[in-house]
Amino acid sequence: MTPPQATAADLLDIKHFNDFLESVLDSLLIVDAEGMVINVNHAFEILTGFSKEEIVGDNIRRLMSVELLERFDQSPAKYLAAAAGKTREGSTRCKDGSNCAIEVSSSLFPCTQQTLYTLIFRDVSERKKIERLKNEFISAVSHELRTPLTSIHGSLGLIAGGVAGELPKQAQELIAIASNNCDRLVRLINDILDIEKIESGAIEMDFEITDLAQLVAESLESNKGFAERHAVRYRLGPVVDSAYAQLDRDRISRVMDNLLSNAAKFSNPGDEVLIEIERRNDLLRVKVTDNGDGIPVDFQDKVFERFSQADGSDTRRKGGTGLGLSICKSILNLHRGVIDFKSVPGEGSCFWFDLPAYQPTDSPDSGHREQASALICEDDPDIANLLSLMLKEKGIVADIALNAREALEKLACNHYRVMTLDLMLPDRDGLSLLDEIKIQRLADDMPVIVVSAVAAARRNKKTGAHLGITDWLSKPIDNDKLTEALKKALMDSDSSLHRVLHVEDDPDINLLIGKILGAEAQVDSACTLASARQLLAVNQYDVAILDIGLPDGSGLELVVEMAKSHPALLIIIFSAQAVSKTISDQVVSVLVKSQDDIESLVSEVAACLSEG
């Protein structure tokens, strides 16, 4: 049957949308919270051989391998909850008993009465076959090339080392040539194999939270000998404190080795190479600057390509393989970082790379990230993950505390608009935790939604009112009931406290204003336009304090947007820049950073709040 020719308007029609789903090449499934299959599309039938009639009403466990079944059968609901929002590799059983390698993504299906999941199966068997062949090839090549090289490298090394006796001068020179080139071949094979692995993603990265300053210092130390052989000195500039990043130590050390050895190789004898670490908002930058030959202008766009060397004859003598920077670039890509350079021929080059900085969540600096407005206190990580996902879909960012102690720590450092609470925590009873929070005054006026298997049994209106509990929800979690509970909780909290949005990328000013104003208003900080917009979309504010110079644009853009979307919002501009009359007419006041001090800002804000 030929499919009907649909127009754009038609596609809104249910039947055509159905045809659309049936035409998709990936398998689509809808399953309920326990794994019962509710519906599947045609691609699923083709992939597995099971017809719609055969699989609908049956459980998805029929498609799972024995190993997965072990975990799934322990608690299907928990298994599916944990998988929600993620993409994983796996396999599906087919009707004929065979297994097919697939990539599975799972997401929450928006449904009002129950928890449902949408699953997508993508057939990756071809891709896996190619990956396996490639890995086998890499393994075989690495062995076959290195075995004869071991003998060559070994023999030459022994002769050069004098084990076969004293050699005539010319023989010594010839042996040295053979030996050096053999070394080059060994390095080249290592680099080629590395680059293939990195680019095919077959490489296993070992990410750890590392002190970048310490790693850089260690690289300088281990490359010192090389620098000395070129009569070059490495100097470490002033280091920013707290330079932590999540990285693979071996790989980043390799990047450092490469940049340092290049800098030494292309410097003039007696020169100095400067290494610095800087912080740029959420990124850490490591810079390696030399005053050597520099890179010819017409070569500069090929620097990171494989086997490209500016001047073949010269640099080959310097011993490079031509792959180093290409490998560095691949390594930085795997870290979601960037590597680049600036160079002036005859003056020198500066190579630098950026890595995302690691922000421990409890540090006072965490005002940089998007502020979480909810706290989930739940000891089961899978349920906590599911709750977090549900809140995210409602535009609410949440922090997770897996026990009472963590909850207390997080409440001490952050302000939340609402908290969900499991009653049965491993280290303390949930209600007793609320008592503690009240005694320590960590979260006055914060509404609490109890989400617990024993909610019905423990529900007590009097205790609840005293501890700020606005709702008692039972498990499994009903998404609709959660939405209602949140609406109720957040509406109540809105009216009680004034809310200030502070858009500022300087962390010190953020912290200061937050502390000063925190007593009489709830201050949400945003350090970029993007996060400011996100906060404005979800929350109501009484006053906004705007900086103009932000990393992703001008704060003035917000003035224009807010005039339309939040006309009642009072805006105060607090910036180093001056503004035009048109802008200053639209805002309450304009304060200039160098002239007006924090106190004037605070009085302005207080004045606005008392008006509202």
What gap in Å lies between CA 524 and CA 373, rounded to an integer?
A: 9
* Residue span binding another protein (CB under 8 A) among the ranges 1-9, 142-150, 209-217, 438-446: 142-150
Closest by Cα among 231, 147, 134 to 186: 147
Nearer to another protein, 30 or 186 (CB): 186
CB closer to another protein out of 155 and 246: 155
DSSP class per residue in 117-138: EEEEEEE-HHHHHHHHHHHHHH
Position 143 contacts another protein (CB under 8 A): yes
Helix (H) or strand (E) holding 205: none
**C-alpha dist (Å) from residue 386 to 228, 397, 426, 590:** 57, 13, 19, 44
Nearer to another protein, 197 or 394 (CB): 197
Tokens of 545: 């304090």
Yes or no: say if 82 and 108 are a contact pair by the CB < 8 Å rule. no
Nearer to another protein, 165 or 238 (CB): 165
Stretch that binds another protein, among 141-149, 339-347, 415-423, 476-484 (CB under 8 A): 141-149
Which part of the chain contacts another protein (CB under 8 A), choosing from 5-13, 30-38, 137-145, 474-482? 137-145
Phi-psi region of 68 (alpha: psi -120 to 50; beta: other; left: phi over 0): alpha
Q: Does residue 158 belong to the site contacting another protein (CB under 8 A)?
A: yes
26 contacts 117 by C-beta, under 8 angstroms = no
Which residue number, 118 or 142, has a Cβ lying nearer to another protein? Answer: 142
- What's the rounded Cα separation, in Å, for the pair 137 and 325? 24
Judged on CB neighbours under 10 Å (0-12, 13-18, 19+), 517 is buried
Tokens of 562: 């807010």
User: Using CB atoms within 10 A of its CB, is residue 317 exposed (0-12), middle (13-18) or buried (19+)?
Assistant: exposed
> Contact between 595 and another protein (CB under 8 A)?
no
**Should residue 225 be labelled a site residue for another protein when binding is judged by CB under 8 A?**
no
> How many residues of this chain bind another protein (CB under 8 A)?
22
Could you tell me which stretch among 41-49, 157-165, 325-333, 473-481 binds another protein (CB under 8 A)?
Answer: 157-165
Q: Of 30, 33, 124, 186, which lies in the binding site for another protein, with binding defined by CB under 8 A?
A: 186
Q: Would you count residue 155 as binding another protein (CB under 8 A)?
A: yes
Shortest separation between residue 224's beta carbon and another protein, angstroms? 19
Of 2, 113, 147, 594, the residue at the interface with another protein (CB under 8 A) is: 147
Among 2, 112, 113, 151, binds another protein (CB under 8 A): 151
Name the one range near another protein by CB under 8 A: 155-163, 280-288, 538-546, 581-589. Answer: 155-163
Answer for which of 46, 73, 154, 237 binds another protein (CB under 8 A) is: 154
How near is the Cβ of 145 to another protein at its closest, in Å? 8
CB 143 to another protein: min, Å: 5
The H-or-E segment that residue 500 falls in is strand 498-503
Minimum CB–partner distance for residue 251 and another protein (Å): 10
- Binding window for another protein (CB under 8 A); candidates: 67-75, 145-153, 308-316, 540-548: 145-153
Task: Tell me: does residue 204 bind another protein (CB under 8 A).
Answer: yes
Burial of residue 490 (number of CB atoms within 10 Å: 0-12, 13-18, 19+): buried
Stretch that binds another protein, among 84-92, 144-152, 320-328, 334-342 (CB under 8 A): 144-152
Using alpha carbons, list the distances in angstroms from residue 611 to 125, 468, 500, 543: 65, 28, 14, 11
Name which of 163 and 519 has its Cβ closer to another protein.
163
Stretch that binds another protein, among 136-144, 323-331, 370-378, 553-561 (CB under 8 A): 136-144
Interacting residues of 420 by C-beta distance below 8 A, sequence separation 6+? 374, 375, 376, 377, 378, 387, 448, 449, 450, 451
Task: Report the alpha-carbon distance of residue 211 to residue 288 in Å, rounded.
Answer: 18
Query: Do residues 275 and 287 lie in contact, with contact meaning Cβ atoms separated by under 8 Å?
Result: yes
Q: Segment contacting another protein (CB under 8 A): 107-115, 154-162, 328-336, 346-354?
A: 154-162
Structure-block tokens of residue 184: 């080059």
Question: Which of 62, 122, 146, 224 is in the footprint of another protein by CB under 8 A?
Answer: 146
Tokens of 309: 């060397």
Give yes or no for residue 150 binding another protein (CB under 8 A).
yes
In degrees, to the nearest 5, what angle opens at C-alpha 515 toward C-alphas 509 and 518?
125
- For residue 501 the two structure tokens come to 């949005």
Among 149, 240, 424, 591, which residue interacts with another protein (rule: CB under 8 A)?
Answer: 149
The verdict on 153 binding another protein (CB under 8 A) reads yes
Q: Of 18, 139, 363, 432, which one interacts with another protein (CB under 8 A)?
A: 139
Dist CA 438 CA 435 (whole Å)? 5
Binding residues for another protein restricted to 229-258, rule: CB under 8 A: 250
- Smaller CB separation from another protein, 139 or 603: 139
Q: How far is the CB of 164 from another protein (least distance, A)?
A: 9
Total Cβ atoms within 10 A of residue 583: 17
Q: Which residues bind another protein (CB under 8 A)?
A: 139, 142-143, 146-155, 157-158, 161, 163, 186, 190, 197, 204, 250
